[in-house]
């Protein structure tokens, strides 16, 4: 009988210890545990769609106040697909990643530090989407550097939203072309904001939404 009681006590202690070890070894700080990557939304991704991102960090926090009136995003890119894997072509200046201009980055790398990411449907045919992607690849292969002056009239260098607008405008109809209409005292020129980009697009989904 005493041996039976000891066995019951041992099993009870073992069961009580499971939650402790679970919380000890599971990393809740990773993007996946925060539902940072909602893979159900991958079903709705299409090549050529607009992706907007808000990252952690002082630079992103400051730039979102310039990039959009709502301050909800600070960066953008164009979705592409290679061998069933998703990538983002975008223009960024980031010394930690050795980025200076138009780059191609896999989706996980692009999103792993994000607070929020949204996908906008450009509502175009597949043929137009393929032309947009071809333009994005062209600027990537040409290694266009990042435009720190935000000079919209000169495309030899490209800031993030200028790159996206340029790729879209090369193939959009006259009525749908994106116009640079945003002014800010910090930036001397009228520039393409994220509001200018998404104005005529339909928000399709949030892939990441930790900004709550």
Q: pLDDT tens-digit profile of 4-23?
A: 444 444 434 333 333 333 23
Q: Residue 157: is its pLDDT beyond 90?
A: yes
Q: Delineate the domains of the chain, giving CATH numbers in brackets.
A: 39-209 (3.90.1720.10)
Report the distance separating Cα 152 and Cα 159, nearest Å: 9
Least confident of 76-85, 122-131, 171-180, 199-208: 199-208
Residue, of 50 and 19, whose pLDDT is higher: 50
Q: What is the residue-wise DSSP string for 123-188?
A: ---HHHHHHHHHHHHHHHHTTPPP-TT--TT--SS--HHHHHHHHHHTTS-GGG-----EEETTEE
Q: pLDDT tens-digit profile of 181-211?
A: 998 877 878 999 999 999 989 888 776 666 5
Question: Nearest to residue 55, comparing CAs of 89, 26, 94?
Answer: 94
Tokens of 143: 């290694």
H-helix or E-strand containing 28? none
Report the distance separating Cα 24 and Cα 26, nearest Å: 6
Q: What pLDDT, on a 0 to 100 scale, did the predictor assign at position 141?
A: 98
Question: Nearest to residue 75, comparing CAs of 88, 87, 86?
Answer: 88
Q: Are 144 and 129 in contact (CB under 8 A)?
A: no
């Amino acid at each position: 009988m005493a041996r039976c009681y000891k066995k019951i006590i041992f099993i009870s202690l073992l069961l009580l210890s499971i939650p402790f070890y679970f919380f000890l070894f599971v990393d809740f700080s990773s993007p996946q545990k925060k539902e940072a990557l909602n893979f159900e939304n991958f079903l709705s991704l299409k090549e050529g769609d607009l992706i907007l991102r808000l990252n952690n960090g002082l630079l992103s926090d400051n730039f979102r106040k310039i990039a959009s009136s709502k301050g909800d995003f600070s960066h953008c890119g164009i979705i592409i697909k290679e061998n069933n894997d998703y990538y983002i072509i975008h223009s960024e200046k980031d010394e930690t990643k050795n980025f200076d201009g138009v780059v191609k980055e896999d989706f996980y790398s692009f999103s792993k530090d994000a607070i929020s990411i949204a996908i906008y449907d450009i509502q175009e045919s597949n043929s137009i989407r393929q032309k947009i992607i071809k333009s994005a690849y062209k600027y990537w292969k040409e290694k266009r550097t990042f435009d720190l002056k935000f000079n919209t009239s000169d495309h030899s260098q490209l800031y993030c939203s200028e790159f996206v607008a340029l790729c879209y405008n090369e193939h959009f109809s006259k009525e749908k072309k994106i116009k640079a209409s945003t002014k800010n005292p910090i930036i001397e020129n009228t520039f393409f904001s994220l509001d200018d980009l998404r104005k005529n697009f339909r928000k399709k989904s949030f892939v990441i939404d930790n900004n709550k």
